Chain A
Amino acid sequence: MPSTPTPAPLADAVIRARGLAKHYGDRHAVDGIDFDVLRGECFGFLGPNGAGKSTAMRMLYGFTPRTSGELAVLGMDVARHPRRIKARLGVVPQENNLDPDNTVWQNLLIYARYFGLSRAQARARAGEALELFALDDRRESEIHELSGGMKRRLVMARALIGDPELVLLDEPTTGLDPQARRVVWRTLRELRRQGRTLVLTTHYLEEAERLCDRVVLLDHGRIVLAGRPPELIDRHAGELVLEADLSDIPGRSHGDPLPPVTAAAIASSELDHAWVDGTLTVYGAGMQRWKLEQLFERIPVPEAATRTVRRGTLEDVFLRTTGHALVEGAQA
């Protein structure tokens, strides 16, 4: 008799946060958030600047003490066992805080001492890390001789010195050109293949879409949306999106409302839309492609506007979510 297949057990939660908050006086940088990060996944914090991403990240390795809530990393309380936790973490901070007084190779060896590694271990790990990030020919270079992309890769190589289970990356590709960004993405995928858990913050939504299994969107210190990128796109943006840029039409000014005829057509189509900074975006969440194409046809936009129908992205999900947040803010 065939046995009934048992569902695969869920991976364990390497990070568990409940009601996690950081307040600076009246400013609530992180305002009571709940999330779990499972072993082996890539988890993303998205959101605009000042949303609380970096604060949340710094709290994960004990750099910023929490105001309230619970936070367990690798099963331990960050406030109680920061050294034990950090011994198993790799951190890629937002700024490249490489040591300009030392060469590439010394940067890695010195960092290895902070993890209590022996000289032989340090050399082996540093060699592997440089190879993974294609920096082995820059061993003797001074830090100021490296390009922006190389510095970023070296910061990531440095984060691997302690052979971490969990790697925290704060804006890993900010400031990089598209080619350097792709190199970083490739190595991040390699880290996942090695079985490491990744947590990253980004405001590049394409990055989140390509790399993350699960994302949370932060706004004003709160989680406003969470899920798997493809599902979020399907549910909140749709397979196709209509976009019309009215901002450059002569005679219109920045704060003008949507033209009434367009607004009426959208209302009768029952499609959801965002109207932000002179750009109209119409979403077809949950609808089939052919139906959407028909509906979009019936929405008139001024001829001078740039009109495109394209695939839905996380960018749309983001815009739609924060667009609503803005409306709520205006009503309050």
Chain B
Amino acid sequence: MTTFDTTLATMPDAPLASAEIDPSTPPDSRIDLRLTRAVWHRNRDVFVRLWKWLLFPNVVDTCLSMLALGFGLGASVSGFGGDGYAAWIAPGLVVCSALFSAGFECSYGTYYRMDKQRTFDAMIATPVQLDDVVLGELFYGAFRGAVSASVIAAIFGAFGLFDSWWALLLPAVCFVSAFMMSTLAVTAASISPMLETLGYWVSFGIFPMYWLSGTFYRPGDFGEPLDTLQLLSPAYHGVALARDAAGTEGATLDGSSLAHLAVLVGIAIVGTWSSITMMRRRLVR
């Protein structure tokens, strides 16, 4: 029997290539914000290219909701301040449009880029690391949500549906809320076995958050324990914060607004951790 020579695989006499860095140099950072920005920039470029197609449906949907519920149903609804039901739901609809944009973009969009287009694989073959990719996706979800919500806020503002100049802060409120939503959506995408199973995220994530956000009713009218459970709905805090900014029914930005912001940021931090962890578990193998 012939034996085969495998010694030629190695060249032990060749010196090892110079590392050009001190061997004690600390390991490369897990996150590089410059490259996170490059990942965000890639998505933003696509958005800029296709903005008419991407923005239009969201804006139209939200305006239809306002027409049907705010002005239509609102005509028969009493008990909502001087400006009526339309002004009551306006800040909520703005925030929810941001949540919808981010919730879909960072689930279906992210899944598509990760699994079908293999965009993530291409990025990771460069100095970009997976953590940068995930963060870039989250910031893009927040950006997209804030952009479409800002357009809607401008339209609602023009119709006089906000009572305070602090409503100018709505894009920022939407950015934070959409970032929070993106972290949940990316987590959903990273554990979804296939594109089709993301329907569960829509049915048991996005829509319950929307209906239970307090946009269409007055939180506190349920009675216990539902009023306490309401506090667990992530969207609720975004909507409440938006009402404080918009001055709905005389609301103002105060300590409770800070508490809502703190909840949003808290969920976003946990969600960022879970997005990165779950994405690593899925892709690094």
| Chains A and B are bound partners | yes
Taking the nearest CB of chain B, how far is it from the CB of A144, in angstroms?
12
Tell me which of A14, A86, A214, A321 contacts B4 (CB under 8 A): A321
Mask for B237-258, Cβ within 8 A of A = 1, else 0?
0000000000000000000000
**Cβ of A191 under 8 Å from chain B:** no
Asked if A87 is at the interface (CB within 8 A of a chain B CB), the reply is yes
Tell me the bound Cα distance from A99 to B25 in angstroms.
34
- Number of residues from B at the complex interface, CB < 8 A: 49
Given contacts A84-B28, A114-B123, A225-B4, contact A34 B9 (CB under 8 A): yes
Contacts of B21 in A (CB 8 A): 76, 81, 84
- With beta carbons under 8 angstroms apart, the residue of A36, A83, A95, A101 that contacts B46 is A101
Minimum CB distance partner of B32 in chain A:
A83
Query: Would you give the shortest CB distance from A118 to chain B, in whole angstroms?
Result: 12
> Is A72's beta carbon under 8 Å from chain B?
yes
- A106, CB-defined interface residue at 8 Å: yes
A39 within 8 A of B: yes
Interface string of A87-99 (1 = CB under 8 A from B): 1010101010111
**Does B158 reach chain A (CB closer than 8 Å)?**
no
Q: Which of B33-86 contact A (CB under 8 A)?
A: 34-35, 38-39, 41-42, 45-46, 49-50
Which candidate, B10-18, B164-172, B185-193, B262-270, is the interface stretch facing chain A? Answer: B10-18
Are A97 and B122 in contact (CB-based, < 8 A)? yes
Q: Would B9 and A102 count as touching, CB distance under 8 A?
A: no
Does B125 make an interface contact (CB < 8 A)?
A: yes
A-B contact pairs, 20 of them (CB 8 A): A38-B11, A63-B121, A63-B124, A75-B19, A75-B20, A80-B28, A81-B28, A83-B32, A93-B121, A97-B122, A99-B42, A99-B122, A110-B38, A113-B42, A114-B128, A116-B34, A162-B126, A226-B6, A235-B5, A324-B2
Instruction: Classify the secondary structure of A's interface with B.
Output: mixed
Q: Are B45 and A65 in contact (CB under 8 A)?
A: no
- Further pairs besides A86-B126, A102-B46, A102-B49: 20, Cβ < 8 Å: A11-B14, A12-B14, A12-B18, A13-B15, A14-B17, A24-B285, A63-B125, A81-B21, A84-B127, A93-B118, A93-B121, A95-B118, A98-B122, A99-B122, A110-B42, A113-B42, A114-B126, A214-B8, A227-B5, A324-B1
